[in-house]
Amino acid sequence: MVTGRIDFEGDGQIEGAALVDGSRVAVIGGGPAGALFTYFLLDMADRVDLKIDVDIYEPRLFAEPGPIGCNMCGGIISETLVQNLATDGVFLSTDVVQRGIDSYVLHTDVGSVRIATPNDEMRIAAVHRGGGPRDVTESRWESFDHHLLENAVERGANVIHARVDEIGRIDGRPTIKVHGGEPRAYDLAVIATGVNTSLLKSLEGLGIGYLRPKLTKTLIREYLVGADEIGRSLGTSMHVFLLDLPRLEFAAVIPKGDYVTMCLLGEDIDNALAETFAAAPQVRAIMPPGWDPAARSCQCLPHINVHGVDKPFAERVVFIGDSGVTRLYKDGIGAAYRTAKAAARTAIFEGVSEGAFRDHFLPVCRAIQGDNRIGAYAFVLTRVAQRFRILRRAILAIARDEQRPGRRPRLSGVLWDIFSGSAPYGDIFRRMVDPVLAVRGIMALPGVLVATVRGPAAAVAANPNPRR
Amino acid sequence: MSSAALGRFYEDGEVVVHQGDVGDSLFVVQDGLVEILVEEDGSEVVLRTAGRNEVLGEMAIFEHLPRSATIRARGRARILTLDKRNFLRRINEDPSLAFRMIETMSHRVRELSHEVVELQAALAGHGSPAEVVEH
Ligand SMILES: Cc1cc2nc3c(=O)[nH]c(=O)nc-3n(C[C@H](O)[C@H](O)[C@H](O)COP(=O)(O)OP(=O)(O)OC[C@H]3O[C@@H](n4cnc5c(N)ncnc54)[C@H](O)[C@@H]3O)c2cc1C
């Protein structure tokens, strides 16, 4: 067993278990968390002249269309993550980015408003996580997960295309067993399996204090629409919906290259709710004429992590991405980036002991979870807006007014950050309860009341896609 | 070049930032080429060109001084802007974000040292480079 202290020129000693030359690291799952962890681990190891071997266990083939290549997601790469990756040298070329997104359009039953990025720049990326839906005939884009995994391979990682059946421990070191194989011992096991796997349940019995995250079901559909049609209808905007439909909390329609992705979040999400949503006039209005909601290319019902793990680490074991702690509802890949990088930094510079992860990895997880608690309140406010038409009218009136030149985009900024997941929830919440915003709300009230008294006929819904 | 990718397009000759402007952002070239040039007494000296995946304008992050050079598209180029404040905030959480930037700056210092040596040698008509570069 390598329990050591390495010495980077002088005092920088690592107490307890550490990675040394020849150490072996197993990464279970080659999605964004696993691939980014490996990329950063090998990059940082290189910087300190440490020679380590990394095996990534990943059964999916990300270049393939259909379920075998897909990690089921909306495929929005947030503004912050785009910028972080660009700074870290992970280049997202036009081979990967199917559509640059420059705006959000908020749709309600009383109208819509478009909120654009500064300078009308494309600051958000829409991607496919795998090779696309199963009816893809010729894949014109590289999948995001494939791209990240290739980056890790270029750094020297070894990919083992197999599902891990069992994680155990021998002499204090983690062991990995794939179907039909013998357990292999490693100096560090990094769990990056996401939440849509049965492996996590078995890890609860490993005696390391791990308890699975709390999950909820979501729904994703893909529609083949064609790039030109998408350009004419949805454009380069992500479309989000605040509709008063029972059980629906949040819905988004995201334009990709040739496909449109529909994501639903709520209570007991099922097919019936997806049908109701797809038939809503606000959805039909943004889709091309003749679009048939029944003609979908694929559908899946993946789980999402809504309450992270309290102890996402143990001696020589760390849980990153969705299998540990993630961001509530938004920017899950961005959170995977943060936890992956924090785990890599800890492993290289602080060691792989339980204490090292507690002191250096846990604070990043705690920051995300603390922010999620505030996020939960922010989402309560959006839920309230979903229930009361008068509030939806007020939001639209203020946000529209803010689109005029020279107006400070207070509410638009809040909406942008809520929908894009670009800022910490704490930040968003503080701006949500800003007194200036309350004053703007009061000033908008007379107009809103008149519109409400006149009834739905007077709604501003005549402009479902403000770009047209 | 796809019109639906990250960043925004700059046409040939369009200026991304002017020398002398106060800088509050960094830039990452997504596609095409840009040139970095210094304007002095009405004439221009192109210092270098930069292409895909290169980060530019990073001096604005560390100094409160006007931009030392102009960045201009050579041919059609697509550029992504990174906001200085958000960038510093992210570095505060994750100092390793600065690794690559420091690496880039260190390469540039090395290149500049090399150029200084060459210029000194050219000016002197002879000379010992070792006397000039001491790092
Ligand atoms: C409906 C929906 C929409 C979403 N939209 C977005 C969005 O637009 N933007 C965003 O940033 N986030 C979004 N997310 C969240 C995002 O999908 C996750 O946060 C992100 O995928 C987490 O990355 P990960 O690497 O932790 O896990 P995953 O992406 O789930 O990857 C886990 C990997 O582990 C592998 N694996 C699993 N079990 C094993 C095993 N036993 N052995 C070996 N390998 C294994 C899997 O094959 C997979 O490749 C969305 C989620 C849902 C459900």
Distance from CA of B2 to the nearest CA of A (A): 7
Report the sign of the C-alpha dihedral through residues A312, A317, A322, A323, in that order.
negative
- The verdict on B110 touching A (C-beta cutoff 8 Å) is no
Buried b (16+ CB within 10 A) or exposed e, B95-132: ebbbbbbeeeeeeeeeeeeeeebeeeeeeeeeeeeeee
d(CA A15, CA A137): 54
Distance from CA of B98 to the nearest CA of A (A): 8
Partners of B90 on chain A (C-beta within 8 Å) are 80, 83-84, 87
Give the single-character DSSP code of A118.
Answer: G
B104 in the same domain as B88? no
B106 in the same domain as B90? no
- Which residues, 6+ apart, have CB-to-CB distance to B61 below 8 Å? B26, B84, B87, B88, B101
CATH number, domain at B65? 2.60.120.10
pLDDT tens-digit map of B81-97: 998 888 888 888 899 88
Are A123 and B6 in contact (CB < 8 Å)?
A: yes
So what's the pLDDT on residue A459? 38
Residue of B5, B55, B83 lying closest to A100 (CB–CB)? B5
Stretch A275-304: mean pLDDT: 95
Are A364 and B81 in contact (CB < 8 Å)?
A: no
B115 in the same domain as B50? no
Q: Which two tokens stand for residue B113?
A: 């040292």
With a cut of 50, say whether residue A95 has pLDDT above it. yes
B109 in the same domain as B65? no
Residue of A91, A98, A345 lying closest to B96 (CB–CB)? A345
d(CA A190, CA A19): 13
Partners of A84 on chain B (C-beta within 8 Å) are 90, 97
Residue A390 CB burial class (10 angstroms; 0-12, 13-18, ≥19): middle
B118 in the same domain as B87? no
Mutation site for A-interface testing, chosen from B6, B28, B61 by largest number of A Cβ within 10 Å: B6
Are A80 and B87 in contact (CB < 8 Å)?
A: no
Atom of ligand 1 nearest to the CA of A321: 26
In this structure, are residues A235 and A105 in contact, taking their beta carbons and an 8 Å threshold? no
Number of domains in chain B: 2
Determine the residue of A36, A56, A193, A249 to mutate for testing ligand 1's pocket, defined as the one with the most ligand atoms within 8 A of the Cβ atom: A193
Give the single-character DSSP code of A197.
Answer: S
With a cut of 70, say whether residue A1 has pLDDT above it. no
Backbone angles phi, psi at A418, to 5 degrees: -65, -50
Q: Look over chain A and give the mean of its residue pLDDT values, rounded to a whole number.
A: 89
B39 in the same domain as B5? yes
User: What is the band of A455 on the pLDDT scale with cuts at 50, 70, 90?
Assistant: low
B61 in the same domain as B26? yes
With a cut of 60, say whether residue A5 has pLDDT above it. no
Q: How many whole angstroms from B74 Cα to the centroid of ligand 1?
A: 40
B99 in the same domain as B72? no
Q: How many whole angstroms from A302 Cα to the centroid of ligand 1?
A: 9
Determine the residue of A82, A177, A197, A203 to mutate for testing ligand 1's pocket, defined as the one with the most ligand atoms within 8 A of the Cβ atom: A197
In this predicted model, which residue has the larger pLDDT, A449 or B72?
Answer: B72
So what's the pLDDT on residue A85? 94
- The verdict on B40 touching A (C-beta cutoff 8 Å) is no
Q: How many whole angstroms from A31 Cα to the centroid of ligand 1?
A: 6
Which of these ranges, A109-118, A205-214, A239-248, A250-259, has the smallest mean pLDDT?
Answer: A109-118
Determine the residue of A322, A329, A339, A422 to mutate for testing ligand 1's pocket, defined as the one with the most ligand atoms within 8 A of the Cβ atom: A322
B102 in the same domain as B74? no
To the nearest whole percent, how much of chain A has pLDDT over 90?
67
Atom of ligand 1 nearest to the CA of A304: 53
Helix residue spans in A21-76 (DSSP H): 32-47
- The verdict on B114 touching A (C-beta cutoff 8 Å) is no
d(CA B83, CA B87): 6
So what's the pLDDT on residue A423? 83
Domains of chain A: 5-69+144-212+308-372 (3.50.50.60), 215-304 (3.30.70), 385-462 (no CATH)
Is residue A33 within 6 Å of ligand 1 at its C-beta? Answer: yes
- Closest CA to ligand 1's atom 27: A194
B65 in the same domain as B121? no
B71 in the same domain as B5? yes
pLDDT tens-digit map of A25-60: 999 999 999 999 999 999 999 999 999 999 999 999
- Closest CA to ligand 1's atom 47: A60
| ipTM given for this complex | 0.86
- Pairing status of strand A188-191 against strand A317-319: parallel
To the nearest whole percent, how much of chain A has pLDDT over 70?
92
So what's the pLDDT on residue A465? 41
So what's the pLDDT on residue B2? 58
What is the secondary structure of A172-185 as a DSSP string? TEEEEEETTS--EE
Are B96 and A100 in contact (CB < 8 Å)?
A: no
Which structural domain, as residue segments, surrounds residue B102?
95-135
Are A83 and B53 in contact (CB < 8 Å)?
A: no
B103 in the same domain as B88? no
Helix, strand, coil percent content, chain B, rounded in steps of 5? 35, 35, 30
User: What is the band of B125 on the pLDDT scale with cuts at 50, 70, 90?
Assistant: confident
With a cut of 70, say whether residue A454 has pLDDT above it. no
- Closest CA to ligand 1's atom 37: A193
What is the secondary structure of A377-393 as a DSSP string? HHHHHHHHHHH-HHHHH
- Closest CA to ligand 1's atom 45: A29
